[in-house]
Amino acid sequence: MSGVAERKIRVLVGKPGLDGHDRGAKIVARALRDAGMEVIYTGLHQTPEEIVATAIQEDVDAIGLSVLSGAHNHLFGRVLDLLREKGVDDVTLFGGGIVPPEDIERLKQLGVRAIFTPGTSTRDIVAFVREQVRPGRP
């Protein structure tokens, strides 16, 4: 084994839009941290532009968005558009919140890797991030 320490998976957890309920986002952030990942939590009321700028600055491997406001189609779509505009194609985007099944399918077609609805085990979210992210990406 080499003497170089393996880079931890870095995940940004964001709360875009006007939604002020962040308990779920904080629970997911803590679960990811407790699983050994580095977590950057952006806090409430972030714009998609702020979230993408922070993700680039922090060199994250994944972005997890929590949206309970009903604006999930717009907010996830805008984050995806901004990532593409900035040439960022190696960041996994996932999320959680109150999202109808038909919207989950639409979001996945746009490029969101997974949507976790209320009641999802944090173990499942941690496993998803580990499976989807390559922590040693260039």
Q: What's the rounded Cα separation, in Å, for the pair 138 and 124?
A: 26
pLDDT digits 0-9 by tens, 36-89: 999 999 999 999 999 999 999 999 999 999 999 889 999 999 999 999 999 999
Q: How far apart are CA 44 and CA 58, in angstroms?
A: 18
Domain boundaries, the chain: 10-132
pLDDT value of residue 7 = 85
Q: Which fold has domain 10-132?
A: Rossmann fold (3.40.50)
Number of residues assigned to the chain: 138
- Would you say residue 137 has pLDDT above 90? no
pLDDT at 20: 87
| Residue 138 pLDDT > 70 | no
Q: What is the DSSP letter of 49?
A: H
Q: What is the pLDDT of residues 6-41, one digit of tens each?
A: 789 999 999 998 888 899 999 999 999 999 999 999
- Cβ(63)–Cβ(55) below 8 Å: yes
Task: Give the pTM.
Answer: 0.93
Q: Which residue has the higher pLDDT, 4 or 37?
A: 37
Which pLDDT does position 62 carry in this prediction?
A: 98
